[in-house]
Chain A
Amino acid sequence: MTDSKYFTTTKKGEIFELKAELNSDKKEKKKEAVKKVIASMTVGKDVSALFPDVVNCMQTDNLELKKLVYLYLMNYAKSQPDMAIMAVNTFVKDCEDPNPLIRALAVRTMGCIRVDKITEYLCEPLRKCLKDEDPYVRKTAAVCVAKLHDINAQLVEDQGFLDTLKDLISDSNPMVVANAVAALSEIAESHPSSNLLDLNPQSINKLLTALNECTEWGQIFILDCLANYTPKDDREAQSICERVTPRLSHANSAVVLSAVKVLMKFMEMLSKDLDYYGTLLKKLAPPLVTLLSAEPELQYVALRNINLIVQKRPEILKHEMKVFFVKYNDPIYVKLEKLDIMIRLASQANIAQVLAELKEYATEVDVDFVRKAVRAIGRCAIKVEQSAERCVSTLLDLIQTKVNYVVQEAIVVIKDIFRKYPNKYESVIATLCENLDSLDEPEARAAMIWIVGEYAERIDNADELLESFLEGFHDESTQVQLQLLTAIVKLFLKKPTETQELVQQVLSLATQDSDNPDLRDRGYIYWRLLSTDPVAAKEVVLAEKPLISEETDLIEPTLLDELICYIGTLASVYHKPPSAFVEGGRGVVHKSLPPRTASSESAESPETAPTGAPPGEQPDVIPAQGDLLGDLLNLDLGPPVSGPPLATSSVQMGAVDLLGGGLDSLMGDEPEGIGGTNFVAPPTAAVPANLGAPIGSGLSDLFDLTSGVGTLSGSYVAPKAVWLPAMKAKGLEISGTFTRQVGSISMDLQLTNKALQVMTDFAIQFNRNSFGLAPAAPLQVHAPLSPNQTVEISLPLSTVGSVMKMEPLNNLQVAVKNNIDVFYFSTLYPLHILFVEDGKMDRQMFLATWKDIPNENEAQFQIRDCPLNAEAASSKLQSSNIFTVAKRNVEGQDMLYQSLKLTNGIWVLAELRIQPGNPSCTLSLKCRAPEVSQHVYQAYETILKN
């Protein structure tokens, strides 16, 4: 013997003993033994070894023993299919037994022995039992069809059991009808396409009759089945509703909920003007309230459903607020659900009561519940404007309690209140700031940071507060990091002078030291915005935010409609469609509410069904609390409005100097809302490498789109003029002009040798000038210039040279050198060569900028002798990169609103008034740098007149 006996003895002994007892002659002993076997089976011991011995006990007239053996069989037949066949004969025999209880027992158990081999033996007895004279056998056989279908669907179809089952719907016994309905409904679920439950007015009538007579469970099966029916018109819907409403008084909550489901669904088809519609609404409230006096588990199911019903049809329970007040002894799951419904029902009429309750709840013990109560107070403030003030003061009281999680929750909701009612309750900020140190949850920290950033101008030490958060930047959660980044950028835009260091610190933390792509990208975007166009940055970051909607966690309407079709079921408890938690194809057929039909026409396809209320009534859905913050954060970047692409290649700044040239104007401006419109312009411009901002790998590609876009036809080119007469330059005559073509500027030169000697070694250099013009290539004169010879050269220019303000602005000092000497001359370039191709401003932006630029910057000019109409002028100007943003006709005058941008990023806005028949037109220019106006006017004149 091996040692293995030590591991098996007890068990082996036990089994052996049982085996002996099972084969005992004494009936009592046998029964006791089977009981022991069942007991072992229950606790999970494997007693399958006793299979033959137990099956031997099957042949008995003792019904109790027989039931026990059957119980054993059901459990182990699957593991011993061959042995299970042994039992078949007894089953078949039992199905013929004169006692209907035995016949039913046999057919019931056979269905539970889920062995393929047995199924074929089952067919004949089942067929007989389905037509049995005794209703008890028939109702059992009806369920057996569902069992068999679960094992072998094909067999059930082939044997015609489905038809027999359908016939049972017309059975005289209501319980047989109910079980047949239950079985058919389940089978139909696995065959969504088949028309198994062929529901028509006749069969519906039969079901409604059986409804009055069968057991409570049968009523549930029938009501659940009725809910799948789509009446052909509102009349039929009403008549079904009338026959279903009495069920609302049933003691069984499931019957009530299933009736509510049928009514809620069919109500969709009734016209709201109908008297009956109002009656029905009134009838629904009392039973729903009664459900709340059921046992807590059922209350929970009821409350989850009421939550749906209140969202779908708030009018039903709008006067029943009080019944949802939380009782001290309610289980926590009931408390939380009640709270949810209270908020949904809160209105101006009952808000005082609700708030008083919520304040009580906020002092309870359960942390989750208290948090939810605090949050609920915030939601009330947002939902009922009149109560906002009281809510805020309640929240402040709660903050005074200093209970950590209460304070944090309160701060999170106060942030939402600020969003909803801007500039109303900011007086409380000081109190909030006192609690800064106690915040340890990311959501609360993020909310607090948001508040500090948003109201930086009102908080004296905002920079210190934010700086203190910055110390542990990398230990914070992403939510907090993102918020901190945004808040500091906001702070910087509001108080640029003191916080430059801080903003650079956070930008480098976000972009260089972080692995989080979201954080990095947001950092880059801010960085570039700030470096490229601080004014735009301000408009983007400090844009007015849309108000948040009052209902924050409504279920999305189509899902809500689907869930209404599942009232009472698990789907309505989870608030998820069945497909989310049911495996396989079962029960995942998408259900939808029936369409409202006033005529007798029925809409067959559910796809055409309009969802309940007209879209206008549906409140906007914004994500639930949890997502709300993410939403807030994203808001700063705004929806992608196609804004003006920024300068391509002109802003010259060192990496250190983020402030750029626009800062001066920035500091002088009031950060007020811009003309009531809330737009934001995302940066979509190409960012040249020399900008100083670090280039994020993929980011620059994204922004590269705009480079190279431009008008193909060049702008106006003036004829060449003599810049350097020969007599001044020892025989070298230089004449030239400036051109702009496809985004590049060049200086077209004509060099003529009027001297007697050959000229070589040409070179050219520019002095520093207002726009940083510089030769982009050396002056290439390939062959020596012989006397009397002329050469044409096009010298490409760039605008990245050194900048010095010149007088006049467009003055350019040039030095040309050859083998003879160095010559100096100066020339004036027309400003339009500096008008970039992407100088078209978005209309909104134009409007806003126009208003933003102070009036003293406006300059007005008359352009005489210019007999052009608006179209001609517009197209002419366009070819020189002066873009018409909008056009209006005011009192017979054409107004052209135009924009242009200089290579250094200065925008010039123009209003050109053309009066038909009058050869002169009026030009009004607005620009942050008014010095350029005069030259822009000259450019206009030049372009228009040529």
Chain B
Amino acid sequence: MIGGLFIYNHKGEVLISRVYRDDIGRNAVDAFRVNVIHARQQVRSPVTNIARTSFFHVKRSNIWLAAVTKQNVNAAMVFEFLYKMCDVMAAYFGKISEENIKNNFVLIYELLDEILDFGYPQNSETGALKTFITQQGIKSQHQTKEEQSQITSQVTGQIGWRREGIKYRRNELFLDVLESVNLLMSPQGQVLSAHVSGRVVMKSYLSGMPECKFGMNDKIVIEKQGKGIADETSKSGKQSIAIDDCTFHQCVRLSKFDSERSISFIPPDGEFELMRYRTTKDIILPFRVIPLVREVGRTKLEVKVVIKSNFKPSLLAQKIEVRIPTPLNTSGVQVICMKGKAKYKASENAIVWKIKRMAGMKESQISAEIELLPTNDKKKWARPPISMNFEVPFAPSGLKVRYLKVFEPKLNYSDHDVIKWVRYIGRSGIYETRC
């Protein structure tokens, strides 16, 4: 299991050091600093073995988190734990920065004591942790016996992510379908790979222990139901989507999903990620990028890029940004664009073209002349792909929320009383076109 956990700043100074096992000595702290943080080469692996000691690290801004072990631990678990650790810290004090860590070091030690025991990860749900580890320090003397046992049963219980007795005057829930659409396209416009990775994020402000059931236009479910209603099969068949794979928050009853493909759960209070999914079929690609790069002699490049929006004209895409890489020896760039603003950013080696809004079924164009300094560098310019960022108000996968039913048998509110909000946001993931 995890033998120790260290947090370093960018200089390699230790901010937090917690050792769980005897086999990890103080020298491990230095070994990581010398071999990884101060290493001259770029990091070649997130797992490093130094003198039979294995170091797992993740980086958040310029803070290094390193878990150390001498055993054959579950590596996936260690990384999952490190991410979780970051989430928990962020939930307590916001951004993970050197200052915040220094200001909260007592809290961090307290958390580390609680969520990692002898190197075994323990309950790390912030909802539960916040009930007894607070920034003020808990005043145990003020707690009643009931409160205490409620805390412990929540921390260890089956529904460790939710405490009992939550009350809201207005029962409300928000569902965000957040998708990132990824594309790799050849210069000729052939889709090399495309997939959507989506998340359903839920914010719940519901009283009691509500039992929820979530439904979407999952092809498998629709087809199963469609057997009964013959007319609808063809209609709904078109609208349903094939989900390649999905994963769920630990509140979702996986065995029920496995057997009935129904998504039922008791949600944590507040915001959480209900599910993640991935689709690869019938993706709506919101934009098409058509690049044209011409080398005019050895010192000049002509670039022309056309973007076409490919969705309903009534919808508006926002925050559109096209990034056209330029060679390292660029000396000057002239840009002409029909819409938006374009700038050459020498520090980023790219022309960045920004358009605030763009309706569907439109197209726009940019042309640029790039002057190059003559070099005797033998290595050819690698021509990185043209990448794009945008945000569209629909789900490129075609996913639709069909229902989210709430049952709370003990309290007197019904599904109809709950105010529900659904929003779809499609963003660009890695959206690249080779040129």
Of all chain B residues, which has the CB nearest A353? B192
A287 to B243, CA, bound (A): 12
Q: Which residues, 680 to 714 on A, are CB-close (under 8 Å) to B?
A: none
Of all chain B residues, which has the CB nearest A571? B72
Q: Which of B26, B44, B75, B254 contacts A332 (CB 8 A)?
A: B44
A325 to B193, CA, bound (A): 8
The 5 closest A-B pairs by CB, nearest first: A286-B245, A64-B137, A136-B152, A254-B76, A246-B258
New contact pairs (11) apart from A61-B141, A297-B82, CB-CB < 8 Å: A43-B13, A44-B17, A135-B156, A175-B155, A215-B125, A254-B79, A293-B276, A295-B58, A297-B46, A328-B385, A353-B192
Residues of B within 8 A of A182 (CB): 1, 120
Residues of B within 8 A of A333 (CB): 43-46
Decide: B22 and A150 in contact? CB cutoff 8 A. Answer: yes
Decide: A568 and B74 in contact? CB cutoff 8 A. Answer: yes
A581 to B23, CA, bound (A): 14
- Whether, in the assembled complex, B145 has its beta carbon less than 8 Å from a beta carbon of chain A, the answer is yes
A323 to B184, CA, bound (A): 11
For the complex, count residues of B whose C-beta is within 8 A of A. 103
- Whether, in the assembled complex, B235 has its beta carbon less than 8 Å from a beta carbon of chain A, the answer is no
- Whether, in the assembled complex, B16 has its beta carbon less than 8 Å from a beta carbon of chain A, the answer is yes
- Whether, in the assembled complex, A62 has its beta carbon less than 8 Å from a beta carbon of chain B, the answer is yes
Of all chain A residues, which has the CB nearest B123? A215
Q: Which residues, 360 to 404 on A, are CB-close (under 8 Å) to B?
A: 360, 363-365, 401-404
A98 to B273, CA, bound (A): 37
Decide: B71 and A582 in contact? CB cutoff 8 A. Answer: yes
A212/B378 contact (C-beta < 8 A), A297-B46, A298-B79 known: no
Residues of A within 8 A of B141 (CB): 61
A572 to B74, CA, bound (A): 9
- Whether, in the assembled complex, B117 has its beta carbon less than 8 Å from a beta carbon of chain A, the answer is yes
Decide: A570 and B75 in contact? CB cutoff 8 A. Answer: yes
Against A, the Cβ 8 Å flags (1 = close, 0 = not) of B69-103 are: 11111111101111100000000000000000000
Q: Which of A62, A146, A353 contacts B137 (CB 8 A)?
A: A62
A246/B254 contact (C-beta < 8 A), A38-B105, A111-B118, A256-B247 known: yes
A582 to B14, CA, bound (A): 26
Q: How far is the CB of B278 from chain A (nearest CB, A)?
A: 6
Residues of A within 8 A of B184 (CB): 325, 327
Decide: B276 and A247 in contact? CB cutoff 8 A. Answer: no
**Among listed B48-56, B299-307, B308-316, B351-359, interface-contacting one:** B48-56
- Whether, in the assembled complex, A828 has its beta carbon less than 8 Å from a beta carbon of chain B, the answer is no
**Among listed A216-224, A552-560, A740-748, interface-contacting one:** A216-224
**Among listed B106-114, B288-296, B336-344, B404-412, interface-contacting one:** B106-114
Q: Which residues, 257 to 304 on A, are CB-close (under 8 Å) to B?
A: 257-258, 286-287, 289-290, 293, 295-298, 300-302
Residues of A within 8 A of B148 (CB): 99-101
A252 to B83, CA, bound (A): 11
- Whether, in the assembled complex, A340 has its beta carbon less than 8 Å from a beta carbon of chain B, the answer is no
Against A, the Cβ 8 Å flags (1 = close, 0 = not) of B253-276 are: 111011000000000000001011
Against B, the Cβ 8 Å flags (1 = close, 0 = not) of A36-65 are: 001100111000000000000000011110
Decide: B80 and A252 in contact? CB cutoff 8 A. Answer: yes
- Whether, in the assembled complex, A569 has its beta carbon less than 8 Å from a beta carbon of chain B, the answer is yes
- Whether, in the assembled complex, A339 has its beta carbon less than 8 Å from a beta carbon of chain B, the answer is no
Q: Which residues, 1 to 57 on B, are CB-close (under 8 Å) to A?
A: 1, 13-17, 19-23, 26, 29, 42-47, 49, 52, 54, 56-57
Decide: B46 and A300 in contact? CB cutoff 8 A. Answer: yes
Q: Which of B42, B70, B123, B245 contacts A582 (CB 8 A)?
A: B70
- Whether, in the assembled complex, A348 has its beta carbon less than 8 Å from a beta carbon of chain B, the answer is no
Of all chain A residues, which has the CB nearest B256? A246
- Whether, in the assembled complex, B424 has its beta carbon less than 8 Å from a beta carbon of chain A, the answer is no
Residues of B within 8 A of A356 (CB): 186
A327/B430 contact (C-beta < 8 A), A71-B113, A101-B151 known: yes
A217 to B29, CA, bound (A): 26
- Whether, in the assembled complex, B397 has its beta carbon less than 8 Å from a beta carbon of chain A, the answer is no
Decide: A217 and B121 in contact? CB cutoff 8 A. Answer: yes
Decide: B72 and A582 in contact? CB cutoff 8 A. Answer: yes
A62 to B385, CA, bound (A): 59
Q: Which of A67, A135, A300 contacts B113 (CB 8 A)?
A: A67
A403/B45 contact (C-beta < 8 A), A251-B273, A258-B74 known: no
Q: How far is the CB of B191 from chain A (nearest CB, A)?
A: 10
- Whether, in the assembled complex, A253 has its beta carbon less than 8 Å from a beta carbon of chain B, the answer is yes
A929 to B106, CA, bound (A): 97
19 contacts between A and B (CB under 8 A): A63-B137, A64-B106, A67-B109, A135-B152, A175-B123, A182-B1, A212-B254, A217-B77, A246-B257, A249-B245, A250-B247, A251-B248, A257-B74, A258-B77, A290-B246, A290-B278, A297-B56, A364-B382, A582-B52
Decide: A143 and B118 in contact? CB cutoff 8 A. Answer: yes
- Whether, in the assembled complex, A443 has its beta carbon less than 8 Å from a beta carbon of chain B, the answer is no
Residues of A within 8 A of B26 (CB): 44
- Whether, in the assembled complex, A35 has its beta carbon less than 8 Å from a beta carbon of chain B, the answer is yes
A570 to B253, CA, bound (A): 30
Q: Which of A99, A140, A581 contacts B117 (CB 8 A)?
A: A140
Of all chain A residues, which has the CB nearest B325? A328
Q: Which residues, 400 to 435 on B, are CB-close (under 8 Å) to A?
A: 430, 432, 434
Decide: A574 and B49 in contact? CB cutoff 8 A. Answer: yes
Of all chain B residues, which has the CB nearest A34? B106
A134 to B49, CA, bound (A): 40
A101/B152 contact (C-beta < 8 A), A114-B22, A287-B245, A325-B193 known: yes
Q: How far is the CB of A308 from chain B (nearest CB, A)?
A: 13
Of all chain A residues, which has the CB nearest B153? A135
For the complex, count residues of A whose C-beta is within 8 A of B. 110
Residues of A within 8 A of B45 (CB): 300, 333
Q: Which residues, 516 to 574 on A, are CB-close (under 8 Å) to B?
A: 566, 568-574
Q: Which residues, 309 to 335 on A, are CB-close (under 8 Å) to B?
A: 322-323, 325, 327-329, 331-333
Decide: A289 and B276 in contact? CB cutoff 8 A. Answer: no
A243 to B258, CA, bound (A): 9
Q: Which of B52, B110, B378, B379 contacts A67 (CB 8 A)?
A: B110
Decide: B248 and A108 in contact? CB cutoff 8 A. Answer: no
- Whether, in the assembled complex, B250 has its beta carbon less than 8 Å from a beta carbon of chain A, the answer is yes
Decide: A215 and B250 in contact? CB cutoff 8 A. Answer: yes
A63 to B378, CA, bound (A): 66
A583 to B25, CA, bound (A): 15
- Whether, in the assembled complex, B174 has its beta carbon less than 8 Å from a beta carbon of chain A, the answer is no
Q: Which of B110, B120, B384 contacts A328 (CB 8 A)?
A: B384
Decide: B79 and A42 in contact? CB cutoff 8 A. Answer: no
Q: How far is the CB of B235 from chain A (nearest CB, A)?
A: 27
Of all chain A residues, which has the CB nearest B255? A246
Decide: B138 and A64 in contact? CB cutoff 8 A. Answer: yes
A249 to B247, CA, bound (A): 4
A173 to B278, CA, bound (A): 34
Residues of A within 8 A of B257 (CB): 246, 249
Decide: B378 and A297 in contact? CB cutoff 8 A. Answer: no
Decide: B47 and A573 in contact? CB cutoff 8 A. Answer: yes
Decide: A583 and B149 in contact? CB cutoff 8 A. Answer: no
Decide: A298 and B247 in contact? CB cutoff 8 A. Answer: no
- Whether, in the assembled complex, B140 has its beta carbon less than 8 Å from a beta carbon of chain A, the answer is yes
Against B, the Cβ 8 Å flags (1 = close, 0 = not) of A49-87 are: 000000000000111100110110001000000000000
- Whether, in the assembled complex, B383 has its beta carbon less than 8 Å from a beta carbon of chain A, the answer is yes
Residues of B within 8 A of A901 (CB): none
- Whether, in the assembled complex, A174 has its beta carbon less than 8 Å from a beta carbon of chain B, the answer is yes
A566 to B14, CA, bound (A): 32
- Whether, in the assembled complex, B393 has its beta carbon less than 8 Å from a beta carbon of chain A, the answer is no
A587/B72 contact (C-beta < 8 A), A38-B105, A67-B110, A186-B1 known: yes
Decide: B14 and A43 in contact? CB cutoff 8 A. Answer: yes
Q: How far is the CB of A641 from chain B (nearest CB, A)?
A: 43
A583 to B21, CA, bound (A): 14
Residues of A within 8 A of B83 (CB): 295, 298
Residues of A within 8 A of B19 (CB): 75
Q: How far is the CB of B247 from chain A (nearest CB, A)?
A: 4
- Whether, in the assembled complex, A769 has its beta carbon less than 8 Å from a beta carbon of chain B, the answer is no
- Whether, in the assembled complex, A19 has its beta carbon less than 8 Å from a beta carbon of chain B, the answer is no
Decide: A332 and B42 in contact? CB cutoff 8 A. Answer: yes
